[in-house]
Amino acid sequence: MLIITLDTTRPDHLGVYGYDYPTSPEMDEFAKKSFVFDNAFTVISHTSSSHASIFTGLYPKTHGGLNNNWIMNESLVFISEILKEKGYLTAGFPACFVVDHNRNFDQGYDYFSKKYNDPDYGFRRDADYVFEDFQQWWENKSDDAFFAWVHFYDPHRDYNAPKEYSDMFPSRLVTTTDSSDAWDLAGYDGEIAYMDHYVGRILDLIEESGKMNETIVVIVGDHGEGLGNHNYLEHSEYIYREQMMVPLMISIPKFSERIQRIDDNVETIDLMPTLIDILGINTTNKMQGRSLVPVFRDERLPEKFIFGETRVTGKELYSPNRHTRLSISGFGWKYIFNNEISKKKNGTDELFNLDQDPYEEKNLIDSDDPEIIKKKAYLLSKLMIWDKDARPYSQGYDVNAETRKIIEDKKEKNQDYSAEKKEIDAIEKALRDLGYMS
């Protein structure tokens, strides 16, 4: 089994997902032999936490690594550990320090690349170096069943792909209203094309060895990139579609006759339960994702809510000094909860009707349509229940705290607070209906 993680790669910049420029000929070819997921989402917009979720099948709050500052707990069970125990030869090739052995990402690996600490390569490694490292391992390994993870970091800022790649694309600058920074999409696309070349070389090695028809290959992104959408260039601070939607393609020899495109909403935490299900491994290990195997048998998955989050800097879960954003999407809607500090930047929570507004541009949170008010309360209560359930800590978080403060303030000033009261009542009713509040 091979898992290739693509850092910072937006699906809409790959040919297989409809991009107009030729960034990904190798992956487009691979996609023809794979299940391609059109609605795959990461659960967090940070590299380290996102990778931990892919490898453990757990939401970030549960595995505990909430952003790139965390060291993963040794008691977590990575897919590499499960497969090593089953006799697989395991090898990992991280391309950036936030997913390296110092962050405990080397759990369960027979070989784990540490070479990028070489001062020549700094904190990240380019695709050619990752490939050479993989090739060396590949050509010297035994013939046992293998599990390998290869990480490509190239599409992450800064852009420095060899000139022949960035020269393939026209220069197009993207920027935001509050910064003088402008990024060139030619640089981003060039990095994707450069990475794609080495993805192809790795697939070639497997093909040439005759092992492709017995190897499961997963290509998945860790998060996207703003590139100017929602007036933001990067990924870690926000959880809009452009940060959360990721490419996901899976080639599975035993289901190769049934390949198709899948439009069900799936989360990256579904990968681990899916892969061990395909391999027929029983585990009592706790996972929060669900197996996608039914879709490989032409069955639809029941629709469910999917969740996302981001937390910026610091280690405390709910420190008032840090951004926290949480999202719930499904059944045509998406709600983003922004904590107090996040609200300073965004003003409010956000509610999007995804059927009418898939790019999340029209915030309906202040709508006075009674149906939308009901929807809002329902989604927020589901989101808070998820947050409470997924959290390994027991401290409560009062979602209505700010509104209660506003009410107290208005009471003192003898102002009308009926709108706020209505909002709290609606949320509490939804919580009661779901049995989470008596």
For Zn ion, the closer of residues 243 and 291 by Cβ is 243
> At closest approach, how far in Å is the CB of 155 from Zn ion?
9
* Helix and strand totals (H; E) in the chain: 14, 16
Q: State yes or no: cis peptide before 298, omega within 30 of 0.
A: no
Range 353-356 contact pairs with CB under 8 angstroms and sequence separation of 24 or more: 354/329
For Zn ion, the closer of residues 123 and 331 by Cβ is 123
Tell how strand 111-112 and strand 89-93 pair up. parallel
Where are any strands of DSSP class E within 294-436?
A: 306-312, 323-330, 333-338, 350-353
The one-character DSSP state at 239 is -
Query: What is d(CA 374, CA 360) in angstroms, rounded to the nearest whole number?
Result: 19
For Zn ion, the closer of residues 197 and 235 by Cβ is 235
Question: To the nearest 10°, the Cα dihedral for 226, 29, 306, 359?
Answer: 40
For Zn ion, the closer of residues 7 and 28 by Cβ is 7
Identify the helix (H) or strand (E) that includes residue 174.
strand 173-175
> At closest approach, how far in Å is the CB of 27 from Zn ion?
17
> At closest approach, how far in Å is the CB of 223 from Zn ion?
5
Q: Assign 26 to helix, strand or coil.
A: helix
Identify the helix (H) or strand (E) that includes residue 167.
none
> At closest approach, how far in Å is the CB of 222 from Zn ion?
4
Place of tokens 């800590």: 393
For Zn ion, the closer of residues 47 and 215 by Cβ is 47
Query: What is d(CA 37, CA 247) in angstroms, rounded to the nearest whole number?
Result: 7
Question: Which residue's beta carbon is nearest to the bound Zn ion?
Answer: 47
User: Contact positions toward Zn ion, by CB under 5 A?
Assistant: 7, 47, 222
> At closest approach, how far in Å is the CB of 82 from Zn ion?
24
> At closest approach, how far in Å is the CB of 208 from Zn ion?
30
Distances (CA, A) of 17 to 14, 367, 368, 374: 5, 33, 37, 35
> At closest approach, how far in Å is the CB of 227 from Zn ion?
14
For Zn ion, the closer of residues 222 and 360 by Cβ is 222
Radius of gyration of the chain (CA): 22
Q: Assign 330 to helix, strand or coil.
A: strand
> At closest approach, how far in Å is the CB of 8 from Zn ion?
5
For Zn ion, the closer of residues 146 and 194 by Cβ is 194
For Zn ion, the closer of residues 7 and 191 by Cβ is 7
CB 154 within 8 A of CB 129: no
